[in-house]
Amino acid sequence: MEDQEFAVISKDSSGNILVDVNGLVTCTLEGGLQFQVPYKEIDFTCDGLECTVDNRKVYVKLHETTDNTSINKENIISPPVIQNENNTIIQEKRRIDDTFAWTDASTKLFLSIYKEKIELLINRKIKTRKILWDKIREVMQSEGYNVTVIQIENKYKSLERSFKNMITNNKQTGRGRTTCPYQAELTELLGSKHNVEPLAVSGREGLILREDMRASTSQFISDPNTNSDENSNILSHNIQEENDNAIEIGMTRDTTTGSNYTSK
């Protein structure tokens, strides 16, 4: 368990496990991140529960010195109840904004919806990424996934970061090639983004073009009737045109989103 992080199950002051109205148990990582697991799927004959949360291996300890399997029905989480006599809250609903546990199925659904909905942002049919995340949330909730806008945005950032780290690692010499979860889907969605895969890089042998740029310029470079100066001008023009388009799209995305998001 050397690569695992540890989490604890939420309990009341008496040590009873808290189960919400949906039959879910909240677990909290050492860093404060929370996630939920169905109580009925926990095998209390085992010492612990192993699961994956946001691509991290997590171990949840199930047993201590006392019996952790008893559930006090009075402590099942319910909506706020107000005592009319003195207007004081006698029970509050727990906040579980960060507790959605992403699965392979929900992640693939998210990516497929994102692929469809991102065109709305690119074509300016919606103005901000916040609206994009909300539209994705609506579809996912209609499919039975109770996910929030914040959880969707964080999932996207996590996947994008993982993909960019893989690209960076694989470009460095002396390192073995690595992969990342959902590589095929992310390559299709993010592989052509200019901040992930540059249009061209400068090396000892000159300018090295990205693969799709090679295809778009090869017809000019291979033309024997075109001299080297003209080739260079055509190449520079194509790269500048691509960069201008990228900047225009980037500015559209960045200026229409909230200050909390910067496309990376």
Return left, alpha or beta for 16; rule: phi > 0 is left, psi -120 to 50 is alpha, else beta.
beta
On whether both 141 and 194 belong to a single domain, the answer is yes
Domain that holds residue 36: 5-61
On whether both 51 and 114 belong to a single domain, the answer is no
Q: Which residues pair with 37 in a beta bridge?
A: 25
| Residue 256 falls inside a structural domain | no
| Residue 223 falls inside a structural domain | no
| Residue 225 falls inside a structural domain | no
On whether both 114 and 168 belong to a single domain, the answer is yes
Q: Which residues pair with 175 in a beta bridge?
A: none
Residue type, 118: I
On whether both 42 and 113 belong to a single domain, the answer is no
On whether both 114 and 167 belong to a single domain, the answer is yes
Q: Give the highest mean pLDDT range of 51-55, 92-96, 197-201, 227-231.
A: 51-55
| Residue 17 falls inside a structural domain | yes
Mean pLDDT over 58-66 rounds to: 72
Mean pLDDT over 160-183 rounds to: 84
Q: Which residues pair with 47 in a beta bridge?
A: none
Pair of tokens at residue 86: 């003195």
Look at residues 150, 170, 199 and tell me which one is the last residue of a structural domain: 199
| Residue 215 falls inside a structural domain | no
* Residue 211: predicted pLDDT: 56
Mean pLDDT over 247-258 rounds to: 40
Q: Which residues contact 20 (CB under 8 A, 6 or more apart)?
A: 26, 36, 76, 77, 94, 96
| Residue 111 falls inside a structural domain | yes
The CA distance from 36 to 33, in Å, is 11
- CA angle 52/55/57 to nearest 5° reads 45
- pLDDT above 90 for 104: yes
On whether both 52 and 127 belong to a single domain, the answer is no
Q: Which residues contact 238 (CB under 8 A, 6 or more apart)?
A: 213, 216, 217
On whether both 126 and 191 belong to a single domain, the answer is yes
Look at residues 199, 220, 249 and tell me which one is the last residue of a structural domain: 199
The CA distance from 228 to 214, in Å, is 16
Look at residues 199, 223, 257 and tell me which one is the last residue of a structural domain: 199
| Residue 50 falls inside a structural domain | yes
131 alpha-carbon distance from chain centroid: 16
